[in-house]
């Protein structure tokens, strides 16, 4: 397959440039930029005039609910949502049912994506302990050999700090990436809202910042002890950003991300018990939100993710403390990201790097670059399109959005994976 894309504004996150040029694709690779290689003949041409050409987005945290929770979503529905929203790679946490702690589950996910998926790349993250029980280490070598890109215990606690240290030692020996979401489960308790005036006024069980920062302090110390390359996921508060910033300054092998909704919403958005705002970690204060944005701007936060958690309608109809946490984020990842550029938090190339190049480098994945011989995972975006967010129009099976009625700009017109057009609006 050979393809020419004409007159697009190519956003190159590696070079931090935006330039109008043509791209030439063949056999799944980018073979020419600006001019075609000798003997190139395009079988198809796309006109990208006044459109951006970006690397396909890499979502480093997205739950597809498959296997185990078909009432919420599945690989078929969520990979379709991904490609139609410009996400060409999805990294799946290990807390599926059953957990991703054995080769059979990894193979099942790959098999289901080949049979029912919509050509988005799906990358399983392996469970670092068996059954995510936090007690016995999983066979990381076998999981890695079968395609797991990193290891995590998701939101499940370790039985002890000693187990966590042994897990990180083992991962370091395997030269594998460890992904940690810092949560002190004793401090988390049955909380459902940020500890502050809003939780007090609404009478909701509170989650203190220390539920994250106390765990993060321990995690950073274990990184220093073990040398394990570690990615800290879903930061939510100002002190966490400062702790990661200081750890990086000391040269520790740490990277970090935050969920896109944390950059726009605060605990004030809970309103009158809107369960679509219930997340773990919770929506925090305005000052926390601002600190997260500063972390994005100065590079402390390397990646942005959807933290996609689709739910069936009933899961969010329960009283706020009993509702299931999480936001369906695939359909809003790109438009929210573009808002950060509109609001001058980051430049467009810097933003795209946090959605493409940086996760590719951290997780060891193809994509994230626009260069000769790079894989042709690309999206074409119309930056001038205007639309109103409506869950009823979501491609994802999960309609639990916190952004109903928001005014967005930017939409995907084409998605290419391995140089093949897998979506055209």
Q: Which domains does the chain have, with CATH numbers?
A: 2-52+375-386+403-424 (2.30.40.10), 55-363 (3.20.20.140)
The pairing of beta strand 151-152 with beta strand 178-180:
parallel
Provide the angle, in degrees to the nearest 10, between the axes of the packed helices 286-298 and 238-249.
30
Q: What are phi and psi of 50, to 5 degrees?
A: 65, 15
Residues with catalytic roles: 307
CA angle 229, 358, 57 (to 5 degrees): 130
Query: Does residue 311 have a pLDDT over 90?
Result: yes
How does pLDDT run across 87-137, given as a tens digit for each residue?
999 999 999 999 999 999 999 999 999 999 889 999 999 999 999 999 999
Of 378, 303, 364, give the one whose Cα is nearest residue 56: 378
How does pLDDT run across 158-173, given as a tens digit for each residue?
999 999 999 999 999 9
pTM score over 0.75: yes
Residue 99's pLDDT is 98
Sorted by sequence, the CB contacts under 8 Å of residue 234 that are 6+ apart come out as 61, 181, 257, 258, 259, 262, 281, 305, 307
Residue 396 · residue 328 · CB < 8 Å: yes
Query: For 64-72, what is the mean pLDDT?
Result: 97
Sorted by sequence, the CB contacts under 8 Å of residue 335 that are 6+ apart come out as 387, 389, 408, 409, 410, 411
Query: For 189-215, what is the mean pLDDT?
Result: 97
Confidence label for 191 from pLDDT (cuts 50, 70 and 90): very high
Residue 321's pLDDT is 95
Distance (Å, whole) CA 89 – CA 87:
6
Of 141, 71, 146, give the one whose Cα is nearest residue 104: 146
Query: Does residue 1 have a pLDDT over 90?
Result: no
Query: Does residue 209 have a pLDDT over 90?
Result: yes
């Amino acid at each position: 397959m050979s393809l020419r894309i004409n007159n697009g504004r190519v956003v190159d996150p590696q070079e931090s440039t935006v330039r109008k040029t043509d791209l030439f694709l063949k056999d799944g690779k980018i073979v020419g930029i600006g001019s075609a290689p000798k003997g190139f003949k395009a079988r198809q041409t796309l006109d990208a005039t006044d459109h951006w050409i970006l690397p396909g987005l890499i979502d480093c945290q997205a739950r597809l609910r498959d296997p185990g929770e078909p009432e919420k979503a599945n690989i078929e529905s969520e990979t379709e949502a991904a490609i139609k929203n410009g996400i060409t790679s999805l990294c799946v946490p290990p807390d599926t049912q059953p957990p991703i702690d054995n080769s059979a589950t990894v193979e099942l996910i790959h098999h289901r994506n080949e049979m029912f998926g919509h050509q988005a790349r799906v990358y399983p993250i392996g469970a670092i302990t068996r059954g995510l029980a936090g007690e016995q280490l999983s066979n990381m070598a076998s999981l890695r050999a079968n395609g797991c890109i990193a290891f995590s215990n998701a939101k499940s606690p370790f039985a002890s700090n000693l187990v966590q240290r042994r897990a990180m030692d083992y991962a370091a020996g395997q030269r594998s990436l460890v992904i940690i979401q810092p949560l002190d489960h004793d401090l988390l308790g049955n909380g459902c809202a940020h500890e502050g005036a809003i939780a007090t006024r609404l009478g909701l069980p509170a989650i203190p910042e220390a539920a994250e920062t106390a765990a993060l302090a321990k995690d950073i110390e274990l990184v220093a002890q073990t040398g394990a390359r570690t990615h800290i996921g879903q930061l939510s508060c100002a002190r966490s950003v400062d702790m990661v910033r200081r750890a990086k300054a000391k040269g520790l092998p740490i990277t970090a991300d935050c969920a896109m909704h944390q950059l726009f919403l605060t605990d004030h958005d809970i309103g009158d018990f809107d369960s679509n705002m219930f997340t773990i970690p919770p929506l925090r204060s305005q000052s926390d939100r601002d600190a997260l944005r500063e972390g994005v701007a100065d590079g402390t936060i390397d990646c942005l993710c959807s933290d996609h958690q689709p739910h069936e309608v009933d899961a969010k109809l329960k009283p706020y403390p009993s509702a299931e946490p999480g936001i369906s984020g695939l359909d809003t990842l790109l438009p929210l990201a573009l808002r950060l550029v509109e609001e001058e938090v980051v430049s467009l190339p810097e933003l795209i790097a946090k959605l493409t190049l940086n996760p590719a480098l951290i997780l060891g994945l193809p994509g994230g670059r626009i260069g000769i011989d790079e894989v042709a995972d690309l999206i074409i975006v119309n930056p001038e399109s205007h639309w109103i967010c409506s869950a009823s129009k979501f491609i994802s099976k999960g309609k639990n959005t916190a952004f109903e009625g928001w005014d967005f700009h930017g939409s995907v017109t084409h998605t290419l994976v391995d140089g093949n057009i897998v979506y055209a609006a």
